[in-house]
Amino acid sequence: MTVDVKRTWREEPSAALFILSASFFFIVTTLVGLTNATKFVLPEFMGNIPWLEWGRLRPLHTNGVLFGWLLAVDMGLIFFVVPRLCGNKLWSEKLGILTVVLFDLVILGAVFAFPLGGNAGMEYAELPQYLAAVVVVVWVLFGLNVFATVLTRKHEKIYVSLWYIMGGVIWTAFVYITGNFVAHFASGINQANLNWFYVHNAVGLIFTPLGIGLAYYFIPKQSQSPLFSHKLSMVGFWSIAFIYVWTGAHHMINGPISQWLQTVSILFSVMLIIPVWTVIVNFFATVSGKWDRVRQDPVLKFLMAGTTFYTLTCFQGPMHSLRTVSAIVSKTDWIVGHAHMAVLGAFSFFAIAGVLHGLPRIVHKPLYSVRLANTSFWLLFTGGLVFFAGLWIGGFMQGLQWNDWTIPWIDTVKFMRPFWMTRLFAGMVVYAGIFLFFYNVVRTFSAPVPAPEQQARPEVRPVGA
């Protein structure tokens, strides 16, 4: 990339501010996760303080990471990517800044609301309704900006990233309103069904299209190779658009919900292999022949490791939905390992790569430290692997123990202790990686404008340098 001393982040303030605030909430909300991992091992750790109770911090961790970090950073990266794919500027930076400010106020509100016991009572839709209403406003403003930018584009053809992003904007509106508002008008199993429709589509029709759409931009861009197959990306997009929405009930396999609905959700869960494989083949084939770059470049490392985790997580998903597999892994720590691989291993890796690629271009300065970014990658990657694998092994074995009802419940809890210890230490390693990423972001942003002789510094050092 070229460095231009006359240009600053003020040309793209909405993208810059979203990325900065999201990175900040990333270190805050993962620290909450770490606190809760500690409570698994030391249940009385800070146990007399009501607002630090495990069950109050849990929604702060999940909602905070999902919305305060991942959704926010995706929005920032979308503000960066969309104008570049349309050949114009963001439709309104003022509107963009308003979007950032309102959304950050919601997340700040959540940071206080959850510890004080404000919990709407449904998973991932725990945000008190007055805050959820502001999220809807934010999303309308955001969608307006995205669609207006696309409609005033200079290039006629819409690249696949834009389909995913536009699809994500439309579906998020439906999914979010269903989960946070419509579901409250139902009760019992109807409500549970709507709740899991929301929970699953939050992953499948919010974070998947946004994350995949961004990766479809960053992977060809960073590896400097054309997308492997345009047609494949099209098959992938329309098949996920059709299939994903049917799978919500697979959260209640073997539960008190109609068998036919379980079967429908299983069929569609298994069919998800189609869109997933189109994405994976496309991503890997695009970088094929460029793997030497992956070795040096932290951005490509995050992208390709993210794709690998995406492959694994999307193979697990359909398998979990089978009745027999569900009877073992459902409700265990296996699922926690699976969920962390999806949100941290796949979509956060894509987002981190996007930030490492995009932020230098937004601030018109080189990345503060490529080395630090590489260190950050290895911490997140190894820590993450141990984290996920530990919970799979422990969770699967716990699931088998649950199926033998002669084993007392408490023995299956005691059995998990070493695995929870492993998760805590692996979580610390992951957190170190996240913190270094945050530090890198802040230093890149705040670094003085480089002197002209430093500007030639390449982003990626050649081998042996």
Residues 94-133, interacting with other proteins (CB under 8 A): 117, 119-123
Could you tell me the smallest distance in angstroms from the CB atom of residue 317 to other proteins?
14
CB atoms within 10 A of CB 323: 14
240 or 430, CB closer to other proteins? 240
The region of 101-109, 190-198, 275-283, 384-392 touching other proteins under the rule CB under 8 A is 190-198
Smallest gap from Cβ 440 to other proteins, in A, equals 33
Q: Is residue 459 near other proteins by the rule CB under 8 A?
A: no
Q: Is 261 in the site for other proteins (CB under 8 A)?
A: yes
Cβ proximity to other proteins, 200 vs 364, nearer residue: 200
By CB under 8 A, is residue 66 in contact with other proteins?
no
Report in angstroms how near the CB of residue 190 gets to other proteins at its nearest: 5
Nearer to other proteins, 251 or 357 (CB): 251
Q: Which is nearer to other proteins, 187 or 224 (CB)?
A: 187
End-to-end CA distance of the chain: 19
Does 340 help bind other proteins (rule: CB under 8 A)? no
241 is a contact residue toward other proteins (CB under 8 A): yes
Residue in the structure block whose two tokens are 């995913």: 164
191 is an interface residue for other proteins by CB under 8 A: yes
Q: How far is CA 43 from the centre of its chain?
A: 28
- H-type helices in 42-157, by residue range? 54-63, 72-86, 93-113, 129-151
Q: Within 200-239, which residues bind other proteins (CB under 8 A)?
A: 205, 234, 238
Residue 359 is encoded by which pair of tokens?
């932020």
Amino acid at site 435:
F
DSSP state string for 176-192: HHHHHTGGGG--HHHHH
> What are the Cα distances from residue 301, in Å, to 288, 348, 428?
14, 13, 21
CB of 452 to other proteins, least distance (A): 43
Q: Which stretch binds other proteins (CB under 8 A): 90-98, 151-159, 288-296, 341-349?
A: 151-159
Residues sharing a CB contact under 8 Å with residue 279, sequence separation 6 or more, in sequence order:
212, 233, 236, 310
Return the residue of 1, 4, 10, 50 that touches other proteins, per CB under 8 A: 50
**Sequence-distant (≥ 6) Cβ neighbours of residue 452 within 8 angstroms:** 5
The DSSP annotation for 433-451 comes to HHHHHHHHHHHHHHSPPPP
Q: How far apart are CA 150 and CA 145, in angstroms?
A: 9
Q: Is 317 in the site for other proteins (CB under 8 A)?
A: no
- Using the rule CB under 8 A, is 171 a contact of other proteins? yes
Contact 206, 175 (CB under 8 A): yes
From residue 254, how far is each of 93, 197, 329 by CA, in Å?
Answer: 49, 17, 12
Residue from 335, 343, 363, 367 in contact with other proteins (CB under 8 A): 335
Q: Which is nearer to other proteins, 41 or 449 (CB)?
A: 41
Options 410, 456, 463, 465; binder of other proteins; rule CB under 8 A: 410
CA–CA separation, 30 and 336 (whole Å): 15
Q: Which of 87, 89, 254, 371 binds other proteins (CB under 8 A)?
A: 254
CB atoms within 10 A of CB 114: 25
What does the alpha-carbon distance between residue 68 and residue 59 come to, in Å, rounded to a whole number?
12
The contact mask relative to other proteins for 267-286 (x = CB under 8 A, - = no) is -x------------------
Q: What is the DSSP letter of 456?
A: G
Total Cβ atoms within 10 A of residue 278: 20
93 is a contact residue toward other proteins (CB under 8 A): no
For tokens 């890198």, the residue is 440
Number of residues that bind other proteins (CB under 8 A): 81
Smallest gap from residue 11 Cβ to other proteins (A): 26
Site for other proteins (CB under 8 A): which residue of 97, 136, 170, 393? 170
The single residue among 22, 150, 287, 355 that binds other proteins, judged by CB under 8 A, is 150
Q: Which of residues 341-400 bind other proteins (CB under 8 A)?
A: none
Q: Considering beta carbons, is residue 143 or 450 the nearer one to other proteins?
A: 143
Smallest distance from other proteins to CB 245, Å: 3
Closer by beta carbon to other proteins, 240 or else 367: 240
Count of all residues that appear for the chain in the document? 465
Distances (CA, A) of 183 to 66, 175, 323, 446: 20, 11, 26, 44
> For other proteins, which residue of 22, 37, 202, 252 counts as binding (CB under 8 A)?
252
What distance in Å separates the CA atoms of residue 89 and residue 229, rounded to the nearest whole number? 27
Residues 418-437 that bind other proteins (CB under 8 A): 420
Is 151 one of the binding residues for other proteins (CB under 8 A)? Answer: yes
